[in-house]
């Protein structure tokens, strides 16, 4: 494959949907939007969280957060949070589907929602939640050999954590894990 086009990505993602499981009754639910920027050579939009936040301050992340009772679905949660954090209107997102949920270090079940956004979207960053937003070439983001695995110990258990550097951004933890899962799903 020469270079990854938006059509290539959408075809592979759509044909290779992961199995989804039902919501556990006692699980704390959240969702993130994995925004793919619709360019001839597509990009992946990421944010750097505000350094003033109590949790995960200054970390690279996807826009997202906890499900509200008023959210009709986890897709609605991801879209609402993207609106609140970076000003992406839900009507400007073409949702392709979801990746398999992951569990965060804080005990949330996080569902990544993959959606296509226009490169023309004018972001409205909420400085209380997000310091900045940036775009990484999708093909570069999905190159698995750019990620290293680091074993950490938490609560007496060992966990593998993925990490990578792009420009001056450290992409690690759950965000890097979601990107790796997306890469493995579309099998570049």
pLDDT for the residue 25: 44
- Residue in 98, 185, 179, 102 with CA at minimum distance from that of residue 141: 179
Whole-number mean pLDDT of the chain?
87
> For the sheet containing 148-154, what is the strand order?
148-154, 157-166, 169-172
Domain architecture of the chain: domains with CATH: 6-186 (3.90.79.10)
Is 60 exceeded by the pLDDT of residue 155?
A: yes
pLDDT for the residue 154: 72
pLDDT for the residue 1: 47
pLDDT digits (tens, 9 = 90+) for 24-72: 445 689 999 999 999 999 999 999 987 776 666 568 999 998 999 999 9
pLDDT digits (tens, 9 = 90+) for 69-107: 999 999 999 999 999 999 999 999 999 999 999 887 677
Percentage of the residues of the chain whose pLDDT score is greater than 90:
57
Percentage of the residues of the chain whose pLDDT score is greater than 70:
87
pLDDT for the residue 160: 77
Bigger pLDDT: 26 vs 151? 151
pLDDT for the residue 26: 55
pLDDT for the residue 16: 61
pLDDT for the residue 187: 75
């Amino acid at each position: 494959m020469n270079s990854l086009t938006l059509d290539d990505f959408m075809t592979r993602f759509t044909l290779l949907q992961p199995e989804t499981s039902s919501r556990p009754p006692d699980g704390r639910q959240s969702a993130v939007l994995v925004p793919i920027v619709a360019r001839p050579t597509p990009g992946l939009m990421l944010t750097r969280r505000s350094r003033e936040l109590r949790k995960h301050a200054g970390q690279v992340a996807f826009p997202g957060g906890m499900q509200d009772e008023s959210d009709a679905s986890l897709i609605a949660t991801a879209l609402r949070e993207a609106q609140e954090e970076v000003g992406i209107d839900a009507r400007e997102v073409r949702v392709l589907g979801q990746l398999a949920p992951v569990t965060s270090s804080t005990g949330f079940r996080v569902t990544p929602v993959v959606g296509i956004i226009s490169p023309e979207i004018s972001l409205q960053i909420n400085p209380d939640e997000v310091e900045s937003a940036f775009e990484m070439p999708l093909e570069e983001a999905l190159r698995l050999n750019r990620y290293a695995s680091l074993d950490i110990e938490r609560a007496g258990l060992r966990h593998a954590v993925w990490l990578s550097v792009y420009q001056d951004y450290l992409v690690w933890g759950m965000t890097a894990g979601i990107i790796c899962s997306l890469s493995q799903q579309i099998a570049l």
